[in-house]
Amino acid sequence: MSQILKIGQIVETEASRTKCQLEELLGGGTQGEVYRINFNGSPMALKWYFPQWIEQDIRQRERLEKAIEFGPPNDRFLWPVDLASAHNIPGYGYIMPLRESRFKGIVDLMKRKVEPTFRALATAGFELANSYLQLHSRGLCYRDISFGNVFFDPKTGEVRICDNDNVDVDGIPGSVDGTPRFMAPEIVRGDASPSTQTDLFSLAILLFYMLMVHHPLEGAKEQAIHCFDLPAMKKLYGTEPVFIFDPDDISNCPIPGEQDNALAFWPIYPKFLQELFIKAFTEGIRDPQNGRVREGEWRTAMIRLRDFIIYCPHCGSENFYDRDILKTSGKLNPCWSCDKQIQVPPRIRIGNSIVMLNHDTQLFPYHLENQGKYDFSRPVAAVNQNPKNPSIWGLKNLSGEKWVTTNADGQVKEVEPGRSTSIALGTKINFGKAEGEFRT
C-alpha cells in the first residue's frame, strides 16, 4: 500500500495544537488511510483523506467540524474529536478513538470466525438500535449502515460504530449513498437519497444478517440469477424486493441446500421477533415513511430477546421462551441443537415484562425502575442457590433498597440488601417502583 503519511511523522491537531506521532498504518479504503497515533501518551486513530476524495466531497470538512462541535451521541461511536494537519503535506485528517482489538467485524460473524452467544447477539442488536436512536434524535442521518462500519465484542455484545465522517443532518445531500445490499429499495431505484428513514431499513438488514447469518431479500429469486450484474441487483434489491419469509408471497423463499442459514435460524427465534422482521421487510418496503420498524421497537425487542433466553437441560444450548408457541401447543419447541423437549423454567413477571429465571439470570435497573435507563453493568438482583440446600433457588437483592415479599399464603417478609427470597410460585415482590410475581 502506498502511504500518504510516513510512520514516525508528526501531525498537529487544529483545536488543541497537540502534536501526535504516527505509529502504524492500520488500513485504507476509498476515502483515505487510517493510522494509529500517539495522542498525549494515549493510543488514538487518525484518518487521513486522499486528495481526490477531498476534491470529490467538498462538504467533508464542514461535516467534520459540525460533528466535533456536537460531540458523539454516546460512547459507542468512534467519533471525530479534532481535525489534524501535517507540515508540507496537503490535505487533512481527523482524530478519533482507537478501536480495541476485542471488537470484531460483522464479517467475522458471517465467516464463523467468531461464535457469539445469542445473549451477546441480542445485546449487540440492542446497542446498535439504541446508538442509532441517539444519533437520529439529534436530527442526524448515518447514511451508510453496513458490515464495514460496525464492530462488536463477541463475548459481551458491546459495539463500536466507526466511519462517522459520513454522518450529516437529515435531508442534506451527500457523496455517500450507502453500501450495496444494505441500501433501502428507494435509494437503489434512484428515487431517494439517504435519510433517517433509509437508515431504518439498513439497520433492519444489519440486524437480520447478525441473527440469521443471511440477507433478508436473497432467496429463490437470487438463486435464479445467472449473471449477478447491476441490473440484476437493482431488480432484487430495488424494483422487485421480496422478503424471504413474506407470509403472503412465497416466491422468494430460501432454497434448502443453498440458503440453509436462514432456514435453520428463523424458527429458533420467538414469534414476536419474526413478526418485527416481517413488518420491516413487507410494510417497510411498501411504505417507507410509515411502515418501517423504529429504533425504539428494535431496542425493546432485543431486550426482550435477552430476557427470553432459556437453556436446554439436556445439552445446555441457548433457546428462547415463546409465549405464542406455548399458548397454541402447550409446550415449547424442542431444542434446536439436540431436538429434545425443553421444560419451561421459572420466570418472573414485572409489569408487562417476563424474565426467564436461569441459573445466571440478573435483573437490571431498567427491569425495576421502568425509566429506560439501560445499563448492563450494575445488576440489582441475581438468581442464586441456597448454600445450605443447593436444590433451593432464590433471587438475591443486590440493590440498595429493601424489598417486601408476599407469598401465596399472604405471608409478608422483608428482604434486605444482600439477602435472598426463594423462587416460589405466586410469591410477589414489591421492588419499590415495580412489582414482580414468580411463575412456574
Could you list the pLDDT tens digit for every one of the 440 residues in the chain?
Answer: 457 899 999 999 999 899 999 999 999 888 999 999 999 899 999 999 999 999 988 899 999 999 999 999 999 999 999 999 998 899 999 999 999 999 999 999 999 999 999 999 999 999 999 999 999 999 999 999 999 899 999 999 999 999 999 999 998 877 778 999 999 999 999 999 999 999 999 999 999 999 999 999 999 999 999 899 999 999 999 999 999 999 999 999 999 999 999 999 999 999 999 999 999 999 999 999 999 999 999 999 999 999 999 999 999 999 999 999 999 999 999 999 999 999 888 999 998 899 999 999 999 999 988 666 788 889 999 999 988 888 899 999 999 999 999 999 999 999 999 999 999 999 999 999 899 999 87
Query: How many residues does the structure list for the chain?
Result: 440
Nearest-angstrom CA–CA distance, 273 and 307: 13
Question: What is the full DSSP assignment across 384-426?
Answer: EEETTEEEEEEEEE-SSS-EEEE-TT--EEEE-TT-EEE--TT
Nearest-angstrom CA–CA distance, 239 and 231: 10
Helices (DSSP H) in 170-294: which residue ranges? 185-188, 196-212, 220-223, 230-234, 260-265, 271-280, 283-286
CATH code reported for the domain at 345-439: 2.60.200.20
Per-residue pLDDT, 370: 66
Per-residue pLDDT, 345: 85
59 Rama class: left (phi>0) / alpha (psi -120 to 50) / beta: alpha
Nearest-angstrom CA–CA distance, 145 and 436: 38
Q: Which of 56, 32, 61, 62 has the alpha carbon at shortest distance from 46?
A: 32
Give the architecture (CATH level 2) of 104-301. Orthogonal Bundle (1.10)
pTM of the full structure = 0.95
8 A C-beta contact, residue 284 and residue 297: no
Q: How many CB atoms within 10 Å of residue 401? A: 13
In the chain, domain spans? 10-97, 104-301, 345-439
Distances (CA, A) of 186 to 142, 195, 252, 285: 16, 11, 20, 9
Residue with cell 425504539: 296
8 A C-beta contact, residue 65 and residue 94: no
Three cell numbers written together for 271: 414469534
SS3 assignment, position 356: strand
Fold of domain 10-97: Phosphorylase Kinase; domain 1 (3.30.200)
Q: How many CB atoms within 10 Å of residue 250? A: 12
Nearest-angstrom CA–CA distance, 254 and 68: 44
